[in-house]
């Protein structure tokens, strides 16, 4: 019988790449849990996944993907009892990628999706007699305020967290690790996701795009952080390919993997400053004196950049020993930011040009 993968978050920036990876590299059928948003139905939102892509992927999507209207923040995922029963009888694999990634929301609000939603997915998994895998996408920043080397085996070291996102994901991973005593679970912790390395496509709402767009538009002129601050940056397609590869390794059930650059391939804030100045032909960002914005900057830009300040400070080193060992024979590795920054910059420049065009009055 064909595998049936239950996937959350498939309409998101990382999730859509996970979905594409599963469609390209496996024969599995996929049930994608998607909620309504911004006036679009779940089916309309997920259909965007295949826009602009090859015909084979589009055909695979039509033939093998079922869209399920579900909401991680709702009790029981917002599913009828009959739907949960039908899923539980068929699901062989859960890929839990869904979640809220905003840093500025109240903790109780974010918990409903990132923590309680994870609990709902675990509850469903417990009811699946055919389940062979539960792959949980966490974040490297469950490490919170920790400094120095963070091992893949570690979670709760009494650390504080910088925002509600980190805390809610930490609490969700606590639940997942507890359930690993009874379920075939693996945990994946991406660090800062930049873009799609092949195309430069970037999430327009993510921190990387927001800061680069502001700089390229000339309204962001300075950032907190030192030139030698370490930034652990990874492309989204690396994360997707690594999750798919590791999910196919029965020997890695029970593992936790930092999908991160690690010390050897991480960038520095100074390196990123130099790359941006070269790519966009602007003065280098001033570092170390806090956020600086030019006249005409969007209201709230300074406060928004302040949310990202902990990630610009460096000081944390994500150990990638287990990930490197497990992926050693796959050929999957993390490129340095210098290898693909040009494509990322081209996409950001296109977005800035679109922003400027949208603001120009029509004749």
Which residues on adjacent β-strands are paired with residue 193? 234
Q: What is the pLDDT of residue 56?
A: 79
pLDDT band at 57 (very low <50, low <70, confident <90, very high): confident
Q: pLDDT tens digits for 280-336? A: 999 999 998 889 999 888 889 999 999 999 999 999 999 999 999 999 999 999 999
pLDDT at 54: 73
Taking residues 42-48, report their average pLDDT.
72
How far is it, in rounded angstroms, from Cα 13 to Cα 17? 7
What average pLDDT is seen over the chain? 93
What pLDDT is stored for residue 361 in this prediction?
53
Return the pLDDT at 44.
Answer: 74
Point out the least confidently predicted range of 40-49, 202-211, 223-232.
40-49
How much is the pLDDT for 42? 73
287/269 Cα distance (integer angstroms):
9
20 CB-side CA count, 13 A: 26
Q: What is the pLDDT of residue 356?
A: 74
| Lowest-confidence region among 102-116, 130-144, 283-297 | 283-297
337-359 and 269-280 are packed helices; what angle lies between their axes, rounded to 10 degrees?
Answer: 50
Dihedral sign from CA coordinates of 171, 134, 238, 37: negative
Q: Would you say residue 202 has pLDDT above 70?
A: yes
Please state whether beta strands 29-34 and 65-69 pair in parallel, antiparallel, or not at all (unpaired).
parallel
Is the pLDDT confidence value at 360 over 70? no
292-293 and 220-223: which strand pairing? antiparallel
Q: Where are the beta strands (DSSP E) in the chain?
A: 4-8, 29-34, 65-69, 93-96, 133-137, 148-150, 185-190, 192-193, 220-223, 230-231, 233-234, 256-259, 267-268, 286-287, 292-293, 316-318
Q: Which is more confidently placed, 29 or 61?
A: 29
């Amino acid at each position: 019988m064909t595998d049936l993968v239950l996937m959350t978050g498939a309409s998101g920036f990382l999730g859509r790449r996970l979905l594409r990876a599963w469609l390209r590299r496996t024969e599995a059928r996929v049930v994608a849990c998607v909620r309504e948003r911004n006036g679009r139905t779940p089916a309309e939102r997920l259909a965007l996944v295949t826009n602009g892509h090859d015909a084979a992927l589009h055909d695979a999507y039509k033939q093998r993907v079922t869209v399920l209207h579900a909401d991680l923040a709702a009790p029981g995922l917002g599913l009828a009892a009959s739907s949960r029963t039908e899923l539980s009888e068929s699901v062989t694999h859960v890929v839990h990628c869904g979640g809220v990634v905003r840093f500025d929301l109240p903790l109780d609000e974010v918990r409903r999706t990132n923590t309680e939603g994870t609990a709902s997915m675990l509850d469903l998994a417990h009811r699946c007699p055919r389940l062979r895998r539960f792959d949980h996408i966490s974040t490297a920043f469950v490490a919170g305020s920790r400094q120095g080397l963070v091992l893949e085996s570690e979670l709760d070291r009494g650390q504080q967290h910088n925002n509600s996102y980190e805390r809610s994901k930490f609490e969700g991973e606590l639940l997942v690790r507890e359930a690993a005593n009874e379920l075939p679970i693996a945990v994946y912790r991406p660090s800062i996701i930049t873009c799609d390395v092949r195309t430069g496509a970037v999430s327009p709402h993510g921190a990387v795009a927001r800061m680069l767009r502001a700089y390229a538009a000339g309204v962001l002129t300075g950032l907190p952080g030192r030139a030698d601050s370490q930034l652990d940056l990874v492309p989204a397609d690396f994360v997707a390919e690594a999750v798919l590869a590791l999910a196919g390794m029965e020997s890695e059930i029970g593992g936790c993997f930092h999908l991160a650059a690690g010390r050897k391939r991480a960038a520095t804030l100074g390196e990123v400053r130099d790359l941006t100045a070269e790519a966009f032909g602007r003065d280098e960002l001033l570092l170390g004196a806090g956020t600086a914005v030019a006249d005409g900057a969007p209201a709230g830009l300074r406060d928004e950049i302040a949310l990202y300040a902990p990630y610009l400070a460096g000081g944390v080193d994500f150990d990638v020993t287990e990930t490197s060992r497990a992926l050693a024979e796959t050929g999957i590795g993390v490129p340095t930011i210098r290898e693909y920054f040009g494509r990322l910059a081209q996409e950001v420049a296109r977005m800035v040009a679109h922003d400027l065009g949208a603001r120009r009055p029509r004749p």
